[in-house]
Structure 1
Amino acid sequence: MRWEPAPCIITDMKAYVGVTDSSWYEFLAARPELDEINFWRPSAKTAFRVLRPGEPFYFKSHHPHNQLIGGAVYAGFARLRVSEAWEIYAEGNGQPSLDAMRERIGGYRGDPIAEDDPVIGCVLLHSPRFLPQGTHFGPPPEFAPSIVQGKGYDLEPGPHTEFFLRFADVLFGAGGNVNVEADTRTWHRPGRMFGEPAPRPRRLGQSAFKGVVLDAYDGRCAVTGSRVRPTLQAAHIRPVTSEGEHRLDNGILFRSDVHTLFDRGYLGIDADYRVVVSGRLSTEFGESAEFEELNGKPIGLPERRVDRPGHDFLDWHRAHVFRP
């Protein structure tokens, strides 16, 4: 997997240094094929809002080692149940199994996880890089031993800029470039949609997309209101195979059967965020009262207006997918 640099923009750019333990770092460093990872937190009490998608998130070892050991590109934040984080990221959580992950979280909480499925905070990252074992860089500037989770840094020209530029050069290669969108309004995972054929192209950014859509819709199907989370799926309004993007305003959370009908054009969403049911549904399949009752019903929406389905994407779906 190749790192594809873009022009590095220092103005108004931030970085974050998160504290990690050796087991998480060593597990992921040994698996360079993992392109998307989850820097999870055992609690979801506070959201992570320090960075914009595309800005650098660096990893630091605990004191007394206190060195930078790697980094990745920030993709987004989501509150997910442990089982959901495992389903989406699997070994990208830095653990070999769901049971091991639950045990690790229970250890941090000081209370073993029994049969429940607690919600954790998930800092979603992509394109991770780790320094070779035995390589040291640091310590980070002004990083007090009392800091438990991490510290944010302003990368505008100032006292810390040169330090992080040098580390980015070491970690990511010449230039240390990352791709940052200026004034990102809604969640948007920049960069390529697909990796190298192997033998089918590998979709990039899909894990973070699932996580942020599930979080934005509060784990509820936008059409049916179902909260049965194992049946919920993050749908692209305009698919990435049709030049769509991993954007929150290009996504909706659907129950799996609603997702299928939407993708095949039997359901649509109008400009006022109401469900539109195609007449072909009953014509082609007969009894469809359950879905006919949804016609004209307003869908559930994310709290922030900028995160709601974009009208350009909805227009595209009605023009190219919906069956009138």
Structure 2
Amino acid sequence: MNFYVGVTDKGWFDFLRQEPREDVNFWKPLGGGTTFGAVSKDAYFLFKLKKPFHCIAGLGRFVNQIDLPTNMAWEIFGPRNGFASYGAFVQAINKYRAGSGKAMEISPVISCLVITEPVFFKEEDWIPAPADWSNPIVTGKVYNTGSPIGSKLWVDVNATLLRYQHDLFAPTSPLTENLVLEAPGTYRQALTKVRVGQGAFQSLVLQAYDKRCAISGEKTLPVLEAAHIQPFSQAGPNSLGNGLLLRSDLHKLFDRHYLTIDAHDRVVRVSSRIREEFQNGKEYYRFDGQPLRVLPKSLADQPAKQYLQHHNGLFMP
């Protein structure tokens, strides 16, 4: 099994470990054009503190990578970026970018590595960095449990995680359910589906729909929102099959059941109530009877019939 050890600042770590968080943004200050392909989706992602600490201090599961303007990253993740305020977040990004010779920008694009279900170890549980970690490594490194060093590190992480089982914000977690120490130097892993937090859900929907509104094709990022088809409050999951990327006004109409997506043919249906209640709606009736303009490339990520049927049942033509 491959897993990744990513280098991070202690300030980011100290802020985020103050309270349980469903997901965090392990951001990189330079975004645009670089794909994080070190490990696959759902792989374990370990947090290594920079020197002088030089220790593994926690981990989570890698869910997604997406490039976003700084203001959008704050809108989605807020303090889960590792800072109490947007100003402090921007200041940290500009500090790194200045060191790389990049020009100052109002909202520079950063690379967001979305990590779900993070666990932050107490200092007494920090694990020394692998013996083969060299000074030139500035971002991170892939390890494999099939190698002696990778196996030893994973056994140490596994044993530490088991001690944290009762401290996690969820009664049970894939991070601890999946890791069962059988004997020194060995482990057994049974992969289960990773729980996706709200920030991760938004980033996944943005990426799946290529940052375009499913109904209108709108590409202006600040007005695009990840919508649940079946509301999260009504047991709708944070999964792509239960998501749509919608322009903000269309999102509001969708949530209030003034429009829906037919579960059988994925055609937009717009209610006559808009005209009756507001004596308007020309902008929206042009979408009535039209198929969705944008869909995820993967069939598995497209709107699921069961959630569309739930929404259809609440729609009043």
Shorter-chain TM-score range: 0.7 to 0.9
Q: Secondary structure at the match of 2:226?
A: strand
Q: Corresponding residue for 1:32?
A: 19
Does the 8 A contact of 1:189 with 1:246 survive in 2?
no
* SS of residue matched to 1:177: helix
Which residue is equivalent to 1:88? 76
CA distance in 2, matches of 1:174, 1:287: 56
Match of 1:237 in 2: 229
Residues 14-33 of structure 1 mapped to structure 2, 5 A cutoff: 14-29=2-17, 31-33=18-20
Shift of 1:112: 6.1
Alignment equivalent of 1:211, drawn from 203, 207, 221: 203
Q: What is the CA–CA distance in structure 2 between the aligned matches of 1:62 and 1:178, rounded to whole Å?
A: 29
Counterpart of 1:196 in structure 2 is none
Aligned pairs for 1:1-324 within 5 A: 13-29=1-17, 31-44=18-31, 45-49=33-37, 50-53=39-42, 55-63=43-51, 65-109=53-97, 110-111=100-101, 114-133=104-123, 136-140=126-130, 142-155=132-145, 159=148, 160-171=150-161, 173=163, 177=176, 189-190=194-195, 205-270=197-262, 271-298=264-291, 299-318=293-312, 320-324=313-317
TM-superposed CA distance for 1:83, in Å, is 0.5
- Tell me how large the CA RMSD over aligned residues is: 2.9
| Deviation string, structure 1 residues 179-234 (Cα, Å, up to 9, x no partner) | 599899xxx7527xxxxxxxxxxxxx112111221232233222223333333221
**4+ long deviations beyond 6 Å:** 180-184
- Equivalent position amino acid for 1:190 in 2: R
| Larger relative helix fraction | 2
1:42–1:108 Cα contact (<8 Å) kept: yes
**Structure 1 length normalisation: TM-score?**
0.78
> Are the counterparts in 1 of residues 61 and 194 from structure 2 also a CA contact under 8 Å?
no
Aligned residues: 292
Q: Which runs of 5+ in 2 are unaligned?
A: 166-174, 180-188
Matched letter for residue 124 of structure 1: V
Identity %: 37
User: For residues 112 and 103 of structure 1, do their structure 2 counterparts lie closer, same or farther at Cα, with a shift above 3 Å needed?
Assistant: farther
CA deviation vs aligned residue, 1:236-290 (integer Å, no higher than 9, x gap): 1122223221111211111222112112222122344332222333234332111
Q: Flag the 1:189–1:152 CA change in 2: closer, same or farther, 3 A.
A: same
Q: Is the CA contact 2:178–2:190 (under 8 Å) kept in the aligned structure 1?
A: no
